Amino acid sequence: MSVQTQIPILDLKPQVSALWPELTAAVEKVLKSTAFILGPEEQTLEKELSAHLGVKHSLGCNSGTDALFIALRALNIGPGDEVITSPFTFFATAEAISHVGATPVFVDIEEKSMNIALDQIEKAITPKTKAIIPVHIFGRPVDMDAIMTIATKHNLKVVEDCAQSFGATWKGKQTGTIGHIGCYSFFPSKNLGAYGDGGLMVTNDDELAATMKMLRVHGSRKKYYNECVGYNSRLDEMQAAILRVKLPHITKWNEARRNVAKRYNAMLANVAGVITPEVADGHVFHQYTLRVQGVDRDKLQAKLAEEGVGTMVYYPVPCHKLKLYEESHRGVVMPLSEKLASEVISLPIWPEIDEATQARVVEVLRAAL
């Protein structure tokens, strides 16, 4: 291997360095307070998030996975119910559906947006269908007008999976605030990441908010007067304090991500065999994901790694092709998810990546094609 700088797929160091004084002060404040769970930082963060997102209720929890799971529980979705979602997502989306005992029903994706195919959702609806989980994949907003029209017509609930789309907007509205419940992840690599696990549920519905609030603390509204079997799923004070330092920067960071994507698109405009992603309105580029054609994608990835360029394949196996769902989806063909799963490759992206680093990534990619 030649000796040159390694370019990771994600570099969190510039942000930690830039915010070092504020971050350490925030952590020290929590240490001194000795309030570590659901304390003042968390309560203030929830208010700040509600104001930022334009939503009535924000509730912190342990992870994006828990947020989805608690949202489905709050909507009373369980055994015998079906939930429609995209197979081209991180497993946690489907996992949450399975965890409440319901059945995930996958609908193929659209080629351009890589999001759920809006014109195929209605065909998948049965009398058992209770909800739709649109996933704003890679930070690209799903057409929420179309989703809400279908949901209203068929009396379905909508839980938005916003794990990759903090700050993404659909017609000026924040993703997560359009459906009945929005679920976010604060996993460190997400657009708004904590320094540990964390998640968020948002809603404009008072009753749903009260139920989710109860579910995250062992099914109790009043301590030790437990009303139902809930969970222990809370956002801790360290993470809340860190997120409060980071939240005021998220809009600027997302704008920077869009500029990084535009720069890559310009650099790759005339490269044969490469399909670049569209810079759609409101897209926040959690990932910058290309499609490559006429080459072995996995070999290409290995070549890039040899040259020190980190890439990832999100996701090599669409959910309906996972062994555990094969049984329930036997014979189902989802041509676009399957095709894209073999073509996608995500390039290094973070808000502070510079043009020279991007140029190097593109140079290595072109040589490897």
User: Which residues of this chain interact with ligand PLP, rule CB under 6 A?
Assistant: 63-65, 89-90, 92-93, 135, 161, 163-164, 185, 187, 197, 199
State the residue number with the nearest CB to ligand PLP.
64
Minimal CA–CA distance to 56: which of 158, 225, 206? 206
Minimal CA–CA distance to 200: which of 171, 159, 139? 159
φ, ψ of residue 70 in degrees (nearest 5): -65, -35
Distance CA 281, CA 154 (A): 28
Distance CA 48, CA 281 (A): 25
Question: Nearer Cβ to ligand PLP, position 12 or 271?
Answer: 12
Question: Nearer Cβ to ligand PLP, position 93 or 175?
Answer: 93
The answer to whether the Cα torsion of 262, 108, 189, 147 is positive or negative is positive
Question: Nearer Cβ to ligand PLP, position 15 or 164?
Answer: 164
Question: Nearer Cβ to ligand PLP, position 81 or 161?
Answer: 161
Least Å from the CB of residue 73 to ligand PLP:
15
Distance CA 211, CA 199 (A): 17
Least Å from the CB of residue 186 to ligand PLP:
7
Instruction: Give CA 214 to chain center in angstroms.
Output: 24
Least Å from the CB of residue 50 to ligand PLP:
20
Question: Nearer Cβ to ligand PLP, position 168 or 268?
Answer: 168
Least Å from the CB of residue 241 to ligand PLP:
18
Least Å from the CB of residue 207 to ligand PLP:
25
Minimal CA–CA distance to 242: which of 13, 21, 23? 23
